[in-house]
Chains A and B, each alone.
Chain A
Amino acid sequence: MAKCPIIAAVGLVSAALVTQTLTAAEVVTPASASTEAASSGANGGKTLGFVVKDWMPAVYETKFMDECPAGLNISNDEIWWRDLTKQQRSELTQDGLITTLDRWFTARSRGPNGEDICINPHLITDDPPLLTVEGPTAFGINLDGNVDGNATPNSCAHENFSSPDGVPGVDNQLYRLIGCIYGYREQGVIDINANEMRRTSGLAMILIEVEGVDNERNDDDVIITFYRSIDQFPLDSAGNVLPYASYRVDYTDAGPRYGDSIKGRIVDGVLLSDSGDVQLPYYGNYNYMHPVIRDMSIRLDISEDGGQSLGLVSGYYDLEQYLYLTGGLGPVISTGNFSCPAFFEAAKKMADGYPDPETGECTHISSSFEISTYAAFIIHPEQTDETETAER
């Protein structure tokens, strides 16, 4: 039924990995192999480290697609194709000899003067409206604090979801926007492709450091900091990410390029955070961005053996950034099956966070993302400096 198992996943036992210096006094054994790992974090206790491998919008799918009663959206080139005359179709396809991909490139340039309508979506106003999610259930959390969907100082009025567990007040307008688009659903490849590009390029590597961990199963006060790594995933012979690798934090002279922190806690091996504004690197489908996710929080079921830990990141995503990402999807958008103009139009209506003081229009959209992580050692520059490097 559900594509995302994260909310339902319970009972994964905890363990993670310690980040630390390599000085003789502080070297440790891995947490998975030993509970003796001991390195002082910023506020005492151990430090756990994770590297994010997958990052994709959390889309709740039912067996019979009840959330999309009108079906899924049709593709951009189908919309374009539908309006062509038979003669135009014959000319454009050389009597059917041109491939679908070629057709898609042409379709994308269907602005009045041949403009790219994903970069200039406002040029087309008569596409069929985007079909959006009408179901009652979504992954995510209550971001605006209410369950009735009314506007608050930081949100616009919108319809709330309930979680798969029945918790009301879930805000996830991004899901409402993309949930009936084939490319974002389980069989789609938009985010699979993005994850693959990240896996093989080493760009936008997100590190999660959890400091002040006194007890890896239950700790009511930890600090969670998000960094970017300058190192790439090490892969095994099958191309899978290897756990327990070391990743250096991206630093400038002024400090880490990323490094926003939020408070959190660990409950029965599940890392839970408060919310805060967090800037993260993002790369996928040829786009590199630095979005700030407002009121962001994380939930991570920590794997005991350092293997894959699954989690959910929720917060208000900057709409302009998300639309920039969508407009720049590149060739993969051909597999997405949606109209850019209709998508952009619907997105503005779905935005539900942080209204513009002047226009009253919301600038952010509530969202939740599934993530997968692996245990990792997070290396800060001072650790590298302190470590004696072998001359050999």
Chain B
Amino acid sequence: MSFKTYIRSCTAIALTASLFFLSACSEPEPATNGAPPDMRLLTSEQYRNIIHDVFGEHIEIAGRFDPLVRTDGLFAVGARSAPITPKGFEEYYNVARSIARQVVNEENKLVLIPCEPVDASRADEACSRQFFTDVGRALYRRPLTDSELETAVDASGKVADELGGFYEGVEFGLTGLLVTPNFLFIIDATEQDSSAAGGVRLTGYAKASRLSFLLWNTSPDDMLLEAAAAGDLHSEKGLVREVDRMMNSIRLERGVRAFFEDFLDLERFENLEKDTIIYPAYSINAAESAKEQLLLTIVDHVVDKDAAYPELFTTRETFMDEHLGRIYKIPVTRPDGGWERYEFPADDRRAGILTQMGFLSLFSHPGKSSPTLRGKAVRELLLCQKVPDPPAEVDFSLFNDPNAPSRTARDRLTAHSTAPSCAGCHKLTDPIGLGFEQFDSIGQFRVAEQGVEIDPSGDLDGLAYSDAKSLAQAMHDHPGAPACLTNQMYSYAAGRAPGRGEREFVRYLEANFSESGHSLKVLLRNIASSDALYMVTKPEQGPDGVRAASLKDSSNKERGS
């Protein structure tokens, strides 16, 4: 942001007296250099959201794509380096085929295809062109190039004539669109910009995608694409207008949910297993409810109430359903299903998201709790601290010995971590995790383990605590928590960890986040409307030239930008 624009925006702030603007204007945004443009594979959720947004919620997406690799603590970053294997492509193709079939079936075609062919038994170029123009723009997050449109229309026409049906042709053409890199990858298309430091900038459509996937976790809507086409996203005023509009949309909840699913590694719920002999109250339904409870609590707190992020660790407010009621041992008024608000009493042992079943069960073993996993999760996910992997020769015999005199996890871990090779890491994790020991592997409260009273006291980076609730307060007070969130939210938005040249910018975000009372919405808005998020350097020319070529191709041939 230039000094002039900074002054302009601050004048506007003074007029509107907006807290957001005020906090954002405490100092100008530090300049950044950005990073080379890149491409990110859509996550499964993004794929699903786009299809449902374009064709409707009733379209079934039956398939499971290759998992992404979690990088720098986020799948959003891992998506940059995600390959599509031959087997993975096959899955994309099958899903695409299934979607295309549903779009043209008898039930949907009159609604989802904007025109009717003159003769449904043969190709209809005009109708086909209209369909692929509209759908292509929604799927590619930009208008199709002339050659892309011609390819789709021609292929569709040939198949229609060959198979004797217009809709068969559309099905074929749509399947093709859904398996192209332009749909499956979020591509940082660039264009020349002599005023930019690196001589290039993201195209308006690429900015729109970056913005939309950050705030809504889906492709840009019509208004955003129109703003991109008009070049509005290159101006601060136009960008802020769109950010404000999107921040006020109900879809923001979807974006925030997606971020926290990634940030808290909630994908682990997909593979969560518990021993139901030990924990009969556990079920798949209970696990799904636990995940949903976390997300409902978070969205209610940081979006609906716009409350301070650190208070997520201490809030007594949450949501409850019949599955969780049995695990938390509290009544629910709708035992036949449904969510209701619930507030833990002031003297309850639980407070905040870390004492919810979701966190406690996710970072436990199937048959017992795990202070180590829980402590590691707090360190790595919430404080962005790296805990080294255990050494290969680690000896678990003392920890797992059923005949050992140690009866509590604290005793077992104390014995285990006396080994020098283990002690270093366990000192990082266990003092935190032991604070949650009054909650078993599925988050049920307990006072004793094997007849011995559990001692849940400990120390978090110098902040002493006596139980999970005071540990939650320690997390609330830990300066590393909002700093970590800031770093990870920017990484999530940019699809990469902040570079060396962005450290000052991240500190700027942290400062504004703090000034706003740790309003996540302010943080999100500051990121979304920043220059840094959209800053790119010249594309790297790889040895094979593939990446550069594809970017160049899509940037130069975009229409309407």
Chain A interface residues toward B at CB < 8 A? 17, 19-20, 22, 24, 27-30, 32-34, 36, 231, 234, 236-238, 240, 242-248, 306, 377-379, 383-384, 387-390, 392
Contacts and interface: CB of A to CB of B under 8 A. Distances in A.
27 contacts: A22-B333, A24-B343, A27-B344, A27-B348, A28-B330, A29-B329, A29-B445, A30-B329, A34-B349, A34-B445, A238-B280, A240-B280, A242-B280, A242-B281, A244-B327, A245-B325, A246-B335, A248-B335, A306-B329, A377-B325, A377-B331, A383-B331, A383-B333, A384-B334, A389-B341, A390-B340, A392-B296
B319 A244 contact: no
B336 A231 contact: yes
Contacts of A29: 329-330, 345, 348-349, 445
Contacts of B335: 231, 234, 245-248, 379
Interface residues of B, number: 34
Given A29-B329, A246-B333, A306-B329, A387 B343 contact: no
Given A36-B347, A242-B280, A246-B325, A377 B339 contact: no
B343 A238 contact: no
A388 B341 contact: yes
Interface in B327-368: 327-336, 338-345, 347-349
A17 B338 CA distance: 22
Contacts, number: 109
B151 interface: no
B331 A19 contact: yes
Contacts of A32: 329
B192 interface: no
A377 B332 contact: yes
A389 B342 contact: no
Nearest to B332: A246
B325 A244 contact: yes
Nearest to B447: A33
Given A27-B345, A236-B281, A244 B322 contact: no
B18 interface: no
Interface in B403-449: 444-447
Nearest to A241: B280
Chain A contact residues, majority secondary structure:
loop
B11 interface: no
B283 interface: yes
Contacts of B281: 236, 242, 244
A387 B326 contact: no
A244 B338 contact: no
B44 interface: no
Contacts of B349: 29, 33-34
A149 to B, nearest CB: 47
B276 interface: yes
A20 to B, nearest CB: 6
B334 A389 contact: yes
A28 B340 contact: no
Contact of A245 (B276, B326, B339, B447): B326
Given A27-B343, A30-B330, A33-B445, 20 more contacts: A22-B333, A27-B342, A29-B445, A30-B329, A30-B445, A231-B335, A236-B281, A237-B276, A237-B280, A240-B280, A243-B326, A245-B325, A245-B326, A246-B322, A379-B332, A389-B334, A389-B339, A389-B341, A390-B296, A390-B339
Contacts of B332: 22, 246, 377, 379
Contact of A238 (B276, B339, B347): B276
Contacts of B296: 390, 392
Nearest to A24: B343
A34 B467 CA distance: 15
Nearest to B325: A246
Contacts of A379: 331-333, 335
